Structure formats: structure tokens, C-alpha cells
Amino acid sequence: MFHNDQLAAFWMPFTANRGFKAEPRLLAAAKDMHYTTTDGRAVLDGTAGLWCVNAGHCRELIVAAIREQAGKMDFGPTFQLGHPLAFDFANRVGELMPAGLDRVFFTNSGSEAVDSALKIALACQRSRGQGTRTRLIGRERGYHGTGFGGISVGGLVNNRRAFGTLLTGVDHLRHTHDVANAFSRGQPASGADLADDLERIVALHGSETIAAVIVEPMAGSTGVLLPPVGYLERLRESCTRHGIILIFDEVITAFGRLGTATAAERFKVVPDMITLAKGLTNAAVPMGAVAVSRAIHDDVVEGAPDGIELFHGYTYSGHPLAAAAGLATLDLYRDEHLFDRALELEPYWTDAIHSLRGHRHVIDLRTLGLVAGIELEPRSGEPNKRAFELFHDCFDRGLLVRATGDIIALSPPLIVTRSQIDEMVGIIADRLATID
């Protein structure tokens, strides 16, 4: 058992450090759908780790690929050099993206993918002779990682308030959540007109000042906010009309979470760039990416003078171990038909989650693909505390969920079974009946 002095050195991310270290909950191992705690308890993974272990934990094909590559070449620089795996993986990723988005820039995380996409958008507008287009548009309640670019276009106040003015020249669309759409099964029927908020921003600043708009097709970290029917289509139309680059942040939604390779495929709306991470390598080795349209890539690369075309990158871009893990992950997705499996499970998942309607404290349920948001009535004078207590309570009862505000989010690995879905819902229902 760890003692407090052994826990002190690690300043934990997005964690109430004092509370955790007073009562730590530690994971020691993982396999398929379960974690094992340091005291030997099995915990059913209802969140795919952090939205990322889409194929389940410690899959042997991925483990073997990492092991083999580590013994062959542990690192290879990709500044003015390269190694075959990075190119192979870029091609494989490009094949899964919407037609034309097959130029891939590798990063190490979703946060870096977002900042990279924003910089690529600025570089592209400049290369097109649109140097006045420097403004970036995000959305309220959006989460785009924790780089200064990502928190600037992001719309979560707690991620922003401590860090000053952030990037200048940023504005935000209204979010898509509407209480009138409570208990949505899939996309809400009303709210497409919320996309017209971009027209307000264009009128305020002038389209000639706006470089890019970035949105999550489905907002995950803020508590599962779903796009109304027609919303993304209208946003796409406005961006095209005004010469604005549209970026989908699919760090959460890509690689089967919505039953398709991308949310763009699910919604049949093609952006100009897609940011990726999480399920990209099944989280076995950190990696992110930006899938870029050929038009944007060629404008930047072909329009530049000889030499480096984009002064941007990371030491670990296209890291050999990450590329090996990613290739094995894509093989698993393909060979086990996991995207199709998620789509087939969606109706069962939806019915199971919505069976919680009418349970104590539940004021909304939202489902899409293998994702669910269970919104709880805030406790008087203690906002967010009820969901956080439920998170702890479920963990102690053998289920990992995620608490974000007063919302419980679920996003299990795509290998989840119907009986495991029933187990998740049963534990949550039991805990809802007893929590204050």
C-alpha cells in the first residue's frame, strides 16, 4: 500500500490532489474490459480509460507490436529524416478519413493536435493571400485540450480563468445544449438554427478577419452535448460561404465511438481538418494527429519557397513506438469489425441508459453511439458534488464512470457486451437510489 509521502511527488492532472492523496484509489493492472486495483478488486471500465481505450485493455496484438518495435528502433527523428512506420501509419489513417482529408500531421496528444490545426489554418490563409484572416472561433462549453490555443478557443471557464487573456482575436459560438431537448436518443430534433450564430460573429468582425472555426461534432468532456439535426450542415455551409476553414475536433469521437471511423462520416459533413488522438493508438502510446485536406496541405506546402514550408512540429511526431501501436490498433478495429459492432450495440445501449429515466436525481439522459451523458440535479449549495460522490461510489462498487460537473459520462470500450452494459446501468441505478 502506498503511503502519503510516496504520493506527494506526482502533481496529478485535473485532480483534487489533496482529496485524492488523503484517500487514494489506485489502479494496478488492466485487461480487456476491466481494471484491477492495487488491493485486487476488479473494476468494469465504463469510460474506456479516458474515452481512449476503444479496443479494450492490453490487447496482445498492440502489446506485441510495441515490444517488437522497441527492440528494433526505439526512436527515429522526423526532422529532415524519417522512418517507414510513420509513413505507413499516415496512409492507413488517411484511408479512414473522409475523402480528401488524407494528409496527416502527427503530434503527441489531442491538445497538440488542436494547436497544430489552428496553426495550419493560419498558415493556409496566409498562403492563400488572406493574411488578414487571423481570428479563431470556438464554441461555449467546448473542450480542445490544454495548450494556450486550445483553451483560448475552448469554452470551459475553469480551464481558462487562471491563465490571463490567452490568445487574442478569439470569439465563441453559442453551445448546442437546450433543456427543451432533454432525454434525447441521438441527435436532438431542434436547434439547427444555433449554427447561425456564426453569421452574427461574421457580421461583428467581418469574414475577412476569420481564419477558422473549431467545434467538437459531439462535445464530450463538457458532459455529452449532442449536435442538433442539421446543425453541422449549416455550420459547414456558412464556413464555405465565407471562406472560413472548418475544423472538427474528433479526439473523442473518432475511431468507432459513434459507430463509424469519424463523426464526420456519421453525420455526413466533411470539415477541412480533423484532430485525432485517444483511440488513434488505443491509448497504448501517446499520439495525436491532424488529418488535413489536400487543398490546405498543398496551399501551404506548394505555395512556400524552397526549404521548410511549415515551421512547426514536435520531437516525437510520428514516434516509432506510437506508429507501431497505431498500426496494430487499426488492424484490431478492422479485423474485429469494432466500428460496426458499436453501431449494432447502439440501440441496446440507448435503451439501457434511458431506463434510468425517472430514477432519483436524474434530470436528463443523452445518448449517441456508445456514449451517454447522465445529468443529475445539482445538490443545493453544492454544485457538482453529487456527481463526484457518485463517481467515487461507483468505483468502490466496481465500475469506472466519469464525472464532469453534475453529469456522469459513459463511453465504454467497443468490445463491451450486453451483460456488461446491464451491469453498468444496474450499479448506477443502485447508487442513485442511495446517494443523497
Please tell me whether residues 281 and 344 are part of one structural domain. no
pLDDT, one tens digit per residue, over 137-163 is 999 999 999 999 999 999 999 999 999
Q: What is the pLDDT of residue 5?
A: 83
Q: What is the pLDDT of residue 2?
A: 62
Please tell me whether residues 278 and 376 are part of one structural domain. no
Please tell me whether residues 180 and 267 are part of one structural domain. yes
Please tell me whether residues 100 and 155 are part of one structural domain. yes
Last residue of a domain, one of 273, 308, 335: 335
Please tell me whether residues 140 and 277 are part of one structural domain. yes
Last residue of a domain, one of 335, 358, 385: 335
Cβ atoms of residues 144 and 150 within 8 Å: yes
Last residue of a domain, one of 310, 335, 360: 335
pLDDT, one tens digit per residue, over 109-124 is 999 999 999 999 999 9
Question: 116 in helix, strand or coil?
Answer: helix
CATH of residue 374: 3.90.1150.10
pTM given for the model: 0.98
Please tell me whether residues 85 and 180 are part of one structural domain. yes
Closest listed residue to residue 369, CA positions, set 351, 346, 353, 348: 346
Please tell me whether residues 372 and 330 are part of one structural domain. no
Cβ atoms of residues 224 and 371 within 8 Å: yes
Q: C-alpha angle with apex 223: 44 to 225, nearest 5 degrees? A: 125
pLDDT, one tens digit per residue, over 72-105 is 999 999 999 999 999 999 999 999 999 999 999 9
Domain of 422 in residue numbering reads as 4-55+337-434
Handedness of CA 290, 259, 333, 41 (dihedral sign): positive
Residue 72 backbone zone (phi > 0: left; psi -120 to 50: alpha; other: beta): alpha
CATH of residue 315: 3.40.640.10
Q: Rounded mean pLDDT of the chain? A: 97
Domain count, the chain: 2
Please tell me whether residues 74 and 135 are part of one structural domain. yes
Please tell me whether residues 68 and 109 are part of one structural domain. yes
